[in-house]
Amino acid sequence: MLTVDFGRFPTESGNRVLDLGCGDGRHAFEAYKRGADVVAVDLDDIALKHVHDMFLGIAEAGEAPADASALALRGDAFALPFPDNSFDRVIAAEVFEHLGDDRAALSEAARVLEPGGLLAVTVPRWWPERVCWALSTEYHEVEGGHVRIYRRGELLGRLRDAGLEPIGTHHAHALHSPFWWLKCAGLDDENLLVRKYHELLVWEIMHGQSWVRRAEQALNPVLGKSFVVYARKP
């Protein structure tokens, strides 16, 4: 399930891509399959092991070009272990809402991005996220949870303050908003409604029916759970 739209974030052979806070690696895998040289960075050793193993599996299956490369690396978003201008693509998907000093992390992302390079940032959209916070304190008070809710203008301002130029936005994952509202309302995984809704989401991810994609695309401007911004480093 991709949040970044690679049609708006062109990535191909020869690109050097940093997936910052890669998590389960979904965007790193897509960039690798497109032929990029990818570095996936996270602090979670378990997640990094999964990403490393998936990189190997993609290579063994021939799903990535032979001249592409992929590395899973432990790294701190506040002190990235790379020289200035190391990458021409940086992805930070659902990362900055977890960080106390998001400005410092954005500054680091901008530092390692070369002039003319592109950054893709995704965060939870303000109003669906605000509903989650209203329904559940545990949702955002757990260790490693969300520490802020971004308004559109706030995130765009943060990017500009880091020396980046926003060039496009959209919303994603409308079908996921109601699922998280159900969870935050206190319905556990054994609840029939939660279970069936989860099955629907898994089915959509696995089978990608065109009519479901079209329905979600139509709902995204209103209900999309994620806010996605693309920016360029001048």
Q: What is the domain count for the chain?
A: 1
Look at residue 183 and tell me if it is in a domain: yes
Look at residue 54 and tell me if it is in a domain: no
Look at residue 43 and tell me if it is in a domain: no
pLDDT tens figures, 132-145 = 999 988 887 777 78
Three-point CA angle 158, 159, 162, nearest 5°:
90
User: Distance between alpha carbon 122 and the CA centroid of its chain, in Å?
Assistant: 5
Contact assessment for residue 152 and residue 170, using Cβ atoms and an 8 Å cutoff: no
Look at residue 3 and tell me if it is in a domain: no
pLDDT tens figures, 27-50 = 999 999 999 999 999 999 999 999
Look at residue 82 and tell me if it is in a domain: yes
pLDDT band at 71 (very low <50, low <70, confident <90, very high): very high
pLDDT tens figures, 99-124 = 999 999 999 999 999 999 999 999 99
Token readout for 52 is 């490393």
Give me the CATH number covering residue 161.
3.40.50.150
Q: What local confidence, expressed as pLDDT, does residue 34 receive?
A: 98
Which structural domain range is residue 131 located in?
76-232
Look at residue 27 and tell me if it is in a domain: no
Nearest to 41 by CA among 84, 105, 124: 105
Collapsing DSSP to helix, strand or coil, 193 comes out as: helix
